[in-house]
Chains A and B, each alone.
Chain A
């Protein structure tokens, strides 16, 4: 893919602020000292020759390359050594939990499910000051606040947005206009038409993830948990909408318009159809901005991000990754500083630009990020952040359960695709599952 030399500044401020405003009112942005924190001479003397481990996964080569460069700069600055452990996304939590249990915890980790590690996280309010959390767009810290103390226990490293990516060449060949606004029915009709015109194996593919599927639920105005930790899927209206969305989606797989082998044939694991999209075998690939860098590096055709389908509601589904330092670290101040360093404006900005991430820092949001290419695509993600309903953030009220709820939805969908249960049964079982999990949570 040719790298376009576009250098237009994206007006991030308005759209992300709108998204954040949906969560909680923004406090006044003010630069804190920690945004450019430098080690003291005493710290440098103490850190010299020390080694810490950074547990990391990457969605693209660009993320890994930028990380390596930033760690090299960190090592030069601190005199410490950072051992980078690169872990596949599919075993991120499995390996980390096993390492924690075995007393072999890393010092710092990049995570997408921070709620699982609340008990072992380093208190960043203590390590970096109480005001440190105010450097980030407030809603983005929801999942990394200690439930009892409300102290910051992790840093929101990037904001992610789900959405469809299309094969432009195949759309053009089919004579289908690039959609600027569409419903799910239109999305599916277009995908099928493009599939037919190009003879691709499939019409549509979505990451095998309950998180991604939740986007479709939100478009149909169906939610699972609200901001008060209440199961709202049991609401008859929500239930009917969710069943409708699930029926439409699973029918695509049942009827072979979507890669059933990839979903059903991968057991209880995450799977991404990015390879199917890159092979030109599916014109509509539902993923998110985190998939973009990999596509930029590897796609041999023109592709483009298009807006999420608007059904009852528009917008996407929020997500993000986090940096966390662990309280088992032998050099907690060095671990906390690594978290701080990677999330400082200069480092975060570089990563955002190179890996097509969306920033979580207020100062970067205010400045805007200058992306070297794919500016239109990034603007579409930003517009979808702004259009995402407040209710989509409700599930973040139960950070320890989000992964379980998403995974159970994913596995129930597998049963629907295989014809073992109906979409209605799946939603009923999901309601029961959420009730059970919430009851367990309240006991704790």
Chain B
């Protein structure tokens, strides 16, 4: 009987998640330039990806982005959630402002920041110029392009992570903090020795989620930089998209790259989870 209740959900999950995933896995061993005719090529697609001269820079870009994104997002979300949690005045407004970018379409986010970061007419550089800071080529210089993409990525998701951490913070028993205060603990000591350890399970979720988001980042980057300048912000998902959907389309290659991405995310998630559990056990 319980299986009947979960059947609708499993049917949807199976149709839209499991079947496409299995189909993608199957296509990764095929060659197809039109999506209708397939030819089995064994592991040729995987070999082609690993020997593709652009894959090294894509891997480097993805690693740079994911590591920076996860660290900055986690630290900043922790900081912001602790600050917002301590606010008593206009608490709701601060949370709403923090969460606002999450509600924007990623495509719109990319387009907005594309305008803001324009080297000559963008408001950011106009402000920098007024302050004597020059006109950095955010969308023209490869290194600055990556910085811009990391910044926008963090800006988009930080509200989401902060809200999760806020919920975690509110789950901490206030009497523990009051007792610490009565024992003479400073605010920093309470944060370091009580709040952060108690928030560890929630922080682990943030690390896992931001790792997944980092690897999956594509939409806002595509509208912000298109993967440029000179491929400096082309991450693994755009690599998959370009192989699968840009002329000449190569569905086998795209699917093989998708399988590789799945394995990477799976490995990182498992690693995070295992490390987190091990520390908890200690």
Contact = CB atoms under 8 A, between A and B. Distances in A.
A37 interface: no
Chain A interface mostly? helix
Contacts of B251: 101
Given A269-B226, A404-B247, A264 B140 contact: yes
Contact of A420 (B32, B121, B227, B230): B230
A304 interface: no
B34 A119 contact: yes
State the majority secondary structure of interface residues on B: loop
Size range of the chain A interface in the assembly:
20 to 34
Contacts of A281: 121
A97 B34 CA distance: 7
A261 B34 CA distance: 34
A281 B120 CA distance: 11
B234 interface: yes
Nearest to B222: A267
A100 B34 contact: yes
Contacts of B249: 97, 101
A313 B230 CA distance: 33
Contacts of A264: 139-140, 228-230
Contacts of B119: 260-261
A169 interface: no
A438 interface: no
B139 A97 contact: no
B219 interface: no
B197 interface: no
A267 B120 contact: no
Contact of A418 (B32, B140, B246): B140
Contacts of B26: none
B139 A261 contact: yes
B247 A265 contact: no
A102 B35 contact: yes
Contact of B225 (A120, A265, A420): A265
A435 interface: no
A199 to B, nearest CB: 12
A432 interface: no
A299 B222 CA distance: 29
Nearest to A90: B226
A420 B34 CA distance: 34
Contacts of A404: 247-248
A302 interface: no
Given A97-B247, A98-B245, A403-B247, A261 B120 contact: yes
Interface string B222-241: 10011111110110000000
Contacts of B140: 260-261, 264-265, 418
Contacts of A418: 140, 142, 229-230
Contacts of B248: 404
A266 B114 CA distance: 9
Contacts of A429: none
Interface in A240-261: 256, 259-261
B118 to A, nearest CB: 5
A94 B246 contact: yes
Interface string B244-261: 011111010000000000
A33 to B, nearest CB: 35
Interface of A: 93-94, 97-98, 100-103, 113, 116, 119-120, 201, 256, 259-261, 264-269, 281, 403-404, 407, 414-415, 418, 420
11 contacts: A94-B245, A94-B247, A98-B35, A100-B35, A101-B36, A120-B34, A201-B121, A265-B140, A265-B229, A403-B247, A404-B248
The 3 closest A-B pairs by CB, nearest first: A267-B226, A101-B35, A265-B139
